[in-house]
Structure 1
Amino acid sequence: MSKSIDDFHVAHIYKDSSMDSKQYQNGGNTQSQILSLALSIAQQTQKVNDYLQSKNLPFPSVAPSAHSHLPLPPELMSSQFAVVEACTELAALMEGPLNHLTTITSPRANIMMALQAIHRFNIASSISVDEEISYANLATRCKMDPTDLRRILQLAVSNLVFQEIRPGYIAHTTISHLIATDATVKSWIALVTEEMWPPASRGVDAMATWPNSQNLHETAFSLVNGGVSFWEAIKEGNRGRRFADGMKYLGKLPGFDVQHLIHALQFKEGKEEVLVDIGGSEGDIAVRLVEHFPRLKVIVQDLDEVIEGIKETELPICVGGRLEFMKHDMFTVQPVANADVYFLRSILHDWPDKYAISIIKNLVLALKAGAKVILNEVCLPEEPGMVPMYHAQLLYGYDLAMKHQFNGKERRIVEWEELFQKADPRFKMGRVVSMPGSLLSVIEFVWKPEDHTIESI
């Protein structure tokens, strides 16, 4: 490695949290742990409550009209996360080992079946926003057996998806109303239950059959899809649209908010710069960048079928001539030479190392000295205990999802550097920045051709 991890500028996601995850994982005094967690929950909740009250904002609720996110400023998001993290750990400790093991197996696993039924039978969309409907009438609307429907929804209700406001009658909560009315939420539920959950059940079979494979057809997804890779499958019917909309759903979550990216990016003041957004889909991120950086031009690249479906007339007027769309396959040589930044957001984690290296290599001929390749990707913790339990569950859960879908992976900082060094040693790692509240880091690599004289590709 050219630098140690300590040399990098790393602003940790939970640096503002009052919780130190290691103190809850070191096997210390249990009474001290549970009391510390409970006190922290109370303190951090008080901060959130006081803010909402002072601004006359609504308190959290399951009502259909409630906010999809808590309306908190960035400085209070750490309190929000601290409460969720501490509640997760406190619940596990208070349950005890056997009860906690039971909780994370049977009951939680079956919620995926309930969500799949809600998707397939279009249950959420069959209920009006303020309606109270009997199980029998709802079953008729959804063309389901009433007993099956009731059993599905009872588990969903226990997870705040719908509410049984009086015996035998169902109504919406915030979550179920979002499933009914927000196309991206609906697509996310479909993507998870139809494309991700079934392969997850075959993940171990795939590992046993093809240990550490980098073949796109040797995945758990392929096992349940007749040998077809994920990237081949999403060309069928509406599966590609469902995937794209599911990714838009993730973009709405606070941890994936593009505002974190905007705050972490650095451009030279007063200088016009060009950024190439590789695999930028329909330009949602690009529009936000152009709106925020008035001297930035963005070229969005994606496959033919994606670019052909974009209606440029629907783009915001403010982007002017600073946003361009281009058909490009990232496994071919980059056609835009001498740009200032080549940007990939949540792209390389979809691919095994050999494919990710190929994507990087295809940039080399286009790079000018000092050009940056900027990733917006997950950075896994370098060692155990660096992040709280709840956050670790998210990150390592995403990592396994990448494995069973594509043989992709989430990577640690050292693995990102190794990847770029294998592609070309003239890449030098720059800043690594994780904004508080963000699940994605900004990882910079600078092209320094003067440091080596080798064949590019």
Structure 2
Amino acid sequence: MAYQNPSLTGLAEEILKGATTLQEELSKHDLPQPSFVPDGRRNYHDVYLNPVAMDARARLIEAAQTMYTLALGPADALRTIATTERMRVNVLRTIHELGIADAVPANGDISIDDLAAKVGTHPIPLRRVLRLAYTMRVFQEPAGKPDFVAHTPLSALIPAASPWLWLQLADVSQMQASGWQLPWALRNWPRIPLNKSDAAERDFWTIIQQDEPEGRGMSLFTSAMSSYIQMMHGSNSMQVLRGFDWAGLGEGVIVDVGGGSGHISLPVAREFPQLRFVVQDLVKNEGSANELIKAAGLDQDDKVRFQPHDFFTPQPESQVVPKAYLLSRVLHDWPDEDCVRILTHLLPGMKRGAKLFLVERVMPSRPGEVPLHQEEQLRVLDLMMYSILGGCERSRDDWERLLRRADLGLGVRTIAAMPGSEFSAITCEILATQVL
């Protein structure tokens, strides 16, 4: 893509404009302003449906990141990518693995010596790690209290994000190691980089289930996905609630294929009582799913129930034809051939009228469709899916081609971008053949 060459002062004006509009919109609706107060704003879930605020925020981020890159210059920008960003990840991994964020009082501070004793480290290297963390706005030294540490909003969020950070940063997941194998992967397509990273050349799912003690790998993975959605969408999954025409389905059953512990189905079931949900996933998720379903009070009358099922096998013969199959962030984990296998088992129900609801990312087809900072995140996730699982993120054309591979009559009916999210709600149907 060709880059514009804005002036520094022009970017500064754009930053001021975006910041002013965002600040005014937050004030207008009596919402908290961004700050580094530990219990301050953690996300922008409360403005997702405010297009003025969200557009101002996007323009502010875009202009600020462009300004930052230009002000650094090419030499310092490359050095930052190769050294600073790598060490920032290592520091975050250290903070997470040692439980440092849990050991710092939520509403107070602690001396570094006492913190070192709590987490079982020596205070001298811990000080060095924390001093870099301070520059990342992760933790802070309280005013007038040298050698003490307190939370910022970033560090305060780490305990809640722990399952997702475990997935991203722990040795067992091999996520970091597989990224180093991308040069090898480009020469050995379609081999998956993760297999190269593992001495036994195992796939991700085997590693997670075999290496995590006490067989907790899959439940930890499900918790990671749930915590990621909480950070992205909030606890009520507002985007999923609004992304599909749930009310228009009438009464019936929704089958949540590969639904983990039901973290997507539960809020939808509460909002649309005419629908019943069957959450399908591997048997290892049954215990955690049933706990969540019971805690939500949705275990009565089969309002939500868990059904052990492998989506690479046919749907149970006893399963009623559902109003819709829901696959939330499932297909991007798999290459096209495996996605076709998954979809093939849903076709009998779809040919009898069931819809297919996908929660997936839709990649831009050409440069400039989305702001650069948003496209960067999408491209990062695309390479992450490839390096870990052999999967990929897909454009609309890619989704259309994939669906036609499963059945020539299967296609996309609508794609609705989810406000404030990198995901879209994709409604699919059998379009070209007569429903039986």
TM-score norm. by structure 2 comes to 0.88
Partner of residue 158, structure 2: 179
For the residues of structure 2 that align with 1:55 and 1:430, how far apart are their CA atoms? 36
Percent identity of equivalent pairs? 28
Q: 1:142 aligns with which of 98, 119, 136?
A: 119
Residue matched to 2:206: 232
Superposed CA deviations along residues 107-147 of structure 1, whole A, max 9, x for unmatched, are 01111111111122221122212343333332222222323
Q: How does 1:43-442 map to 2 (within 5 A)?
A: 43-70=17-44, 71-72=46-47, 74-75=49-50, 76-165=53-142, 166-180=145-159, 182=160, 185-194=161-170, 195=173, 196-208=175-187, 210-213=188-191, 218-220=192-194, 223-224=197-198, 226-235=200-209, 236-237=212-213, 238-254=216-232, 258-267=237-246, 269=248, 271-309=250-288, 310-311=290-291, 312-316=293-297, 321-335=302-316, 336-442=319-425
C-alpha distance in 1 between matches for 2:329 and 2:249? 29
The letter of the residue matching 2:257 is: I
Select 2:428's aligned residue among 422, 426, 445: 445
What letter is aligned with 1:282? S
Deviation for aligned residue 1:242: 2.6
Cα shift readout 1:340-372 (whole Å, capped 9, x = no counterpart): 211101000011111111101111233334422
Give the 3 Å change call, closer, same or farther, for CA 199–275 of structure 1 in structure 2: same
CA deviation after TM superposition for structure 1 residue 267, in Å: 4.2
Change in Cα spacing, 1:35 to 1:318, as seen in structure 2 (3 Å) is farther
Instruction: Report 1 or 2 for greater relative contact order, CA contacts < 8 Å, sequence distance ≥ 6.
Output: 1
Distance 1:448 1:254 in 2: 32
Aligned-residue CA RMSD in angstroms?
2.5
User: Aligned partners of 1:73 and 1:64: how far apart in 2?
Assistant: 22
Aligned residues of 2:58 and 2:371 also touching (Cα < 8 A): no
**Partner AA of 1:85 in structure 2:** E
Is the CA contact (8 Å cut-off) linking 1:303 and 1:329 kept in structure 2?
A: yes
Q: Distance in 2 between matches of 1:402 and 1:244?
A: 16
Residues in 1 aligned to 2:130 and 2:385: alpha-carbon distance in whole angstroms? 30
Instruction: Provide structure 2 residue ranges, at least 5 long, that are not aligned to the other structure.
Output: none
Q: Give the direction of change, closer, same or farther, for the CA distance of 1:448–1:162 in structure 2 (3 Å limit).
A: same
Q: 49-58 or 102-111: which moved more? A: 49-58
* Cα separation, partners in 2 of 1:73 and 1:412, compared to 1, 3 Å: closer
The alpha-carbon deviation at position 327 of structure 1 amounts to 1.3
Instruction: Name the CA shift for 1:221/1:139 in 2 (closer, same or farther; >3 Å).
Output: farther
Q: Is the 8 A contact 1:291 1:318 kept in 2?
A: no
* TM-score after normalising by structure 1: 0.84
Deviates more, 1:359-368 or 1:45-54: 45-54
d(CA) in 2 for partners of 1:331, 1:138 = 48
The DSSP-based 3-state class of the residue aligned with 1:105 is helix
Cα deviation 1:379-438 (Å, max 9, x = unaligned): 111012211121011100001111111111111111111111111112132112213322
Give 1:448 shift.
4.4
SS in 2 for 1:37: helix
Distance of 2:54 and 2:326 partners within structure 1? 27
- Looking at structure 1, the residues matched to 377 and 48 of structure 2 have their Cα atoms a distance apart, in angstroms, of 22
Partner letter of residue 186 of structure 1? S
The Cα offsets for residues 276-334 of structure 1, whole Å up to 9 and x where unpaired, read as 11011111211111222232222211111112332242123598643222111100001
Helix, strand or coil at the partner of 1:30: coil
Compared CA separation, residues 269 and 28, structure 1 to 2 (3 A)? closer
Contact map agreement 2:218 2:285 (CA 8 A) in 1: no
Which of 359-368 and 349-358 deviates more? 359-368
Distance apart, 1:155 and its partner CA: 1.6
Query: Aligned equivalents of 2:222 and 2:91: distance in 1?
Result: 23
SS of corresponding position for 2:47 = coil
CA distances 1:44-78 after superposition (whole Å, capped 9, x unpaired): 22222223334444322222222322443521233
Deviations 1:83-102 (A, max 9, x none): 22221122112222222222
Matched residues in 2 for 1:273 and 1:78: separation?
Answer: 38
Matched AA of 1:277: D
Find the aligned partners of 2:435 and 2:34 in 1 and give their Cα distance: 56
State which drifts further: 166-175 or 411-420. 166-175
In 1, Cα distance between equivalents of 2:16 and 2:342: 48
Does structure 2 retain, via aligned residues, the 8 Å contact 1:287–1:319?
A: no
Q: Partners of 2:431 and 2:411 in 1: how far apart?
A: 7
Counterparts of 1:79 and 1:358, CA distance in 2: 42
Equivalent residue letter for 2:154: I
Structure-1 separation of matches of 2:414 and 2:125: 53
CA contact (8 A) 1:370 1:448 kept: no
Residues 268, 192 of structure 1: alpha-carbon distance in 2 compared, 3 angstrom cutoff = closer
Aligned residue-pair number: 419
CA contact (8 A) 1:426 1:451 kept: no
For 1:45, the aligned partner's letter is: A
